[in-house]
Amino acid sequence: MASAPRSGEYMDGQAWFTRKQTVLTIGVTNAGLEDIGEVESITLPEEGDDLTKSEVAVTIEGTSGTLELITPAAGLVHAANVRLAGSPETLSEDPLEEGWLVKIEIEDPTDLKEYADTSKGEDDSDDE
C-alpha cells in the first residue's frame, strides 16, 4: 500500500503535482491560469533552495491577479523551469507538460498523505 499519491491537484484545483519516486514536479492547472488571466511574469526558486511544506515556491503574475503556489511537501529544489522566465506564454499554452514549474526532491513522501484522495482513479480511467 502506497503511503502517498503519485499525482494530484491541490490549492483548490489551482495547482498540480506528479511524483516519480522522491521527485515531485509542480505546475499550475488551467483553472489556476483562468483565475489570473494572461501570464505576465513568473518568479521561480533556484536549484538547491530548501523549501518547507506550504512555503510559497512560485509566484505567477497575471493581468487579473497573482497566484502563489505553495509546496505540498518539504524538500530541495531539484530543477526550475527557467525557460518560462523568457517565454511565460508557454505556461498558458501547455501548463501540464512544457509548462511545469519546479521539481523538488522531497524529504518525506508522507507529507503528501492529505492529497491521497485527489488522484483516485486518475491513472486507470479512460473517459474518452
CATH number at residue 53: 2.40.50.100
The pLDDT score that the predictor gives to residue 3 is 37
The pLDDT score that the predictor gives to residue 79 is 97
Residue 102 covered by a domain: yes
Residue 65 covered by a domain: yes
Among 82, 91, 86, CA closest to 62: 91
Q: Is the dihedral of CA 7, 11, 15, 21 positive or negative?
A: negative
- pLDDT tens digits for 78-99? 999 999 988 888 998 999 889 9
Overall domain count for the chain:
1
Among 74, 80, 78, 73, CA closest to 59: 80
Residue 60 covered by a domain: yes
Residue 17 covered by a domain: yes
The pLDDT score that the predictor gives to residue 127 is 40
Residue 117 covered by a domain: no
Range of the domain at 49: 7-112
Residue 62 burial (CB count, 10 A) = 21
Residue 123 covered by a domain: no
The pLDDT score that the predictor gives to residue 9 is 86
Residue 125 covered by a domain: no
Residue 101 covered by a domain: yes
Q: What angle do CA 30, 83, 79 make, to 5 degrees?
A: 90
In the chain, the N- to C-terminal Cα span, in Å, equals: 29
Among 89, 83, 66, 71, CA closest to 19: 71
